Each structure stands twice: as structure tokens, then as C-alpha cells.
Amino acid sequence: MEEFRKKLYASFDFALIPIADFLIGHRVTPNRLSIAALLLNFVAALCIMLGGLALGGIIYLLAGLVDLFDGTVARRGGLSTEFGGFLDSSFDRISEGVIFAAITYGFAANGNAATAAVTVLALLGSFMVSYTRARAEALGLDGRSGIASRFERLLLISIALMAGFLEAAIYFLALFTLLTVSQRIWSTYWQLEERKAGIRPPAP
């Protein structure tokens, strides 16, 4: 799964190069793109709260595409900074939080308390997927296992909003974020055990 994800990201990155070079030429910085993506996510959340699910899904997907550019612009323009990476990760969590808050509001306002509660669990699972990766990588390990990375989560929810199967997508996401967190905990445990045993991980 990780190899497929790498190839997919590389394909996206290659496709984004001409636009990224245009943005660099017009002095658009990665941090500005991160801020633009964050603002778009707030607009998407507002649309969702007002009942415009399809429009919210389109804007959410657009925000995700804008967010993809910041990394490409940073690499192509030699603009990568530690603060930029920190800001991007922080804004990603805020963006996901406001989108899921809007979805929770929608289910609760329509009297669907059970799915509203599951949406909160899906958000918790999404945050934990990111957190377990960050903690594993802070230990010098590979924390990318599992199938519910941010890209997959964003794609699933944006398509579900546009296509009208949001409730099913929320239950699916709650389950698969839980599975991904479990995979990453298990993987981290075994990597630490291998480190103690002096077994070197394979080269990436």
C-alpha cells in the first residue's frame, strides 16, 4: 500500500510542477498556500453547515489540492523551512477539525445523534492516525503503515459529500482509522523490538 501511495504522490507531484513553477515565479510562498487552504476549509465547513454538502465537498477537495501545492512549491523553490512544515501540519489538523465539526452539526441538527457521535470518533481516529505517525517518526521509525492517511480521508469525505453517501463514509472512516491506528501501534512496537535486537530495517 505504501509503495502504491508513493507512486501516486509522485505522479501528483509531477503533474503539479508547471503550476508550482508559475506560483514560484509570482512569489507565492508555501505558507501563503497553507493559509489559503485553511481559509477554503472554513468556507467548505460553512457550506456543509448550511446544507450545501455538494458545494462543501467541491471546496474541500479544492482546499486539498491547494494544500498539495505548498509542498511542491517548497521543494521546487528551495523554500522548505521547519516552521513551514510545522504550520502546514497544524493547519491540516485545524482544517480536518472544522470539516468534521460541520458534519457533526449537520447530523445532530437532523436528529441523527448516533452518526454525529460516530463522526466525532472518526475525527478522533483521524487525529490519532496523524499523531501515531508523528510519534513513530520522532523515535526514528517508519510510521506510515495503514490505509487511512490524510490523502485517503480527504478524498473519501469530499467524494461522499458530493455523491451523497456521507453517512456510510463516516462509519467506514471511523472503522478504518481505528484499524490504521492499530497497525501503526503494532508496527512501532515491532520496530522498537527489532532495534533492541540489533536488526536494521530495510532501506526505503
The b-or-e profile of 72-105 (16+ CB within 10 A means b, else e) is bbbebbeeeeeebeebbeebbeebbebbbbbbbe
Q: Give the model's pLDDT for residue 12.
A: 59
Mean pLDDT of the chain: 89
pLDDT in tens, 42-69: 999 999 999 999 999 999 999 998 888 8
CB-based contact 95:56 (threshold 8 Å): no
Q: What pLDDT does residue 122 have?
A: 96
Q: What is the pLDDT of residues 91-106, one digit of tens each?
A: 999 999 999 999 999 9
Examine the residue annotation and report whether 92 is marked as an active-site residue of this protein.
yes
The pLDDT tens digits of the residues spanning 97-134 come to 999 999 999 999 999 999 999 999 999 999 999 999 99
**Residue among 33, 39, 43 nearest 102 (CA):** 43
Which of 13, 70, 92, 142 is catalytic? The answer is 92
> Does position 1 have pLDDT exceeding 80, yes or no?
no
Per domain, the residue ranges of the chain are: 2-196
CATH fold of 2-196 reads Four Helix Bundle (Hemerythrin (Met), subunit A) (1.20.120)
